[in-house]
Structure 1
């Protein structure tokens, strides 16, 4: 199964890294956690390999996309401590394939109709950094954003919930909080991630 076109692959920042070795990319990823370009380059290099493996093990394209994104989220976290030098026989590709196999065997996939994730709309690399940025949002902004974007609550309903929790806010206040949440969220993304994924769009 073929991956959708990768928005990252033709970006000048990514193309400039294509000549780097796997070990160099992993080292740079670990050394500069505030940059997303190294992880994005690894994704461009091995995304199709993992997508093919994962697609062969799932029942629907939606489940494949969901598991693919979660696999790269696992890779993002586990690769922070990966030491390829400790095992000269271990290649990055074999390590990635092993992570994919673990995810295939251990992940309980939701039914296709319950999956909201879209690979075409949210590339896995962007999803990883966006998830990290959401965790860094102040609690009130994160709550309002979650209720609005995940649970699709109206501003009026969010205001009523917050009022019940002792926060004297109106629907207009909620709209202002949402605008601030989007602005803060974008500012928390690495600069190169914003450049690669948001140059033609906006989180709001």
Structure 2
């Protein structure tokens, strides 16, 4: 039987202080303050167990369940940015809305075999993953490319340099570590401060490198 993971961020004061807000208020605050990640994280903590219980019915292993769980929350994150709040939004059943988004995600997602999945829920909880992906989209293209080649493709400095030179970027191999360090600095700065506080600054938090694995 698959298990529903625990979410340590539930017990952080930053998140507990938001328990007084309704779902509709959290959605509205999320849209009004995109520079803050705590409102989305509070919704994640509120409905994380429910979403995970839904995705479990579509897979055979814990690894696949965690992978699909992260994809579902990425879709929820994207939809929350686009959903239009109207006067009757207070009557919206946000739990059902979340389940509906999860269901549609399951229907259109091709889930790879467990041994091909690299995603780790412990290393990259969905709120961190969502804001990390957004941050990657916002940093300069060269920085993003070098970070991705290092992080995802596991290329060494010589291979990165050869690829960049083939693309017309005359960067000496000795300068690649400096470009990479600047890319990580830009990436970290593009993540909301409260998300960094929740996931990247505590003693047992994953490093930025681990969170992208």
Give the shorter-chain TM-score range.
Answer: over 0.9
- Hey, what does 1:78 align to over in structure 2? 79
Whether contact under 8 Å (1:84, 1:90) holds in the other structure is: no
- How do 1:1-204 residues align onto structure 2 when only pairs under 5 Å count? 1-82=2-83, 83=85, 85-86=87-88, 89-200=91-202, 201=205, 202-203=207-208
Point out the more displaced range, 97-106 or 75-84. 75-84
CA distance in 2, matches of 1:148, 1:111: 25
Tell me the TM-score normalized by structure 2: 0.90
State the secondary structure of the residue aligned to 2:58: coil
The Cα shift of 1:4 comes to 2.7
- Alignment deviations for residues 97-151 of structure 1 (CA, whole Å, 9 cap, x no partner): 1111111111111222221111111000100000000000101001111111111
The Cα shift of 1:170 comes to 2.4
The Cα shift of 1:89 comes to 4.9
CA distance in 2, matches of 1:163, 1:150: 20
Structure 1 residues 7 and 178, CA, compared in 2 at 3 Å: closer, same or farther?
A: farther
Tell me the TM-score normalized by structure 1: 0.94
CA distance in 2, matches of 1:139, 1:121: 25
Contiguous gaps of at least 5 residues in structure 2: none
Give the number of equivalent residue pairs.
204
CA distance in 2, matches of 1:99, 1:166: 43
CA distance in 2, matches of 1:168, 1:100: 45
Whether contact under 8 Å (2:51, 2:99) holds in the other structure is: yes
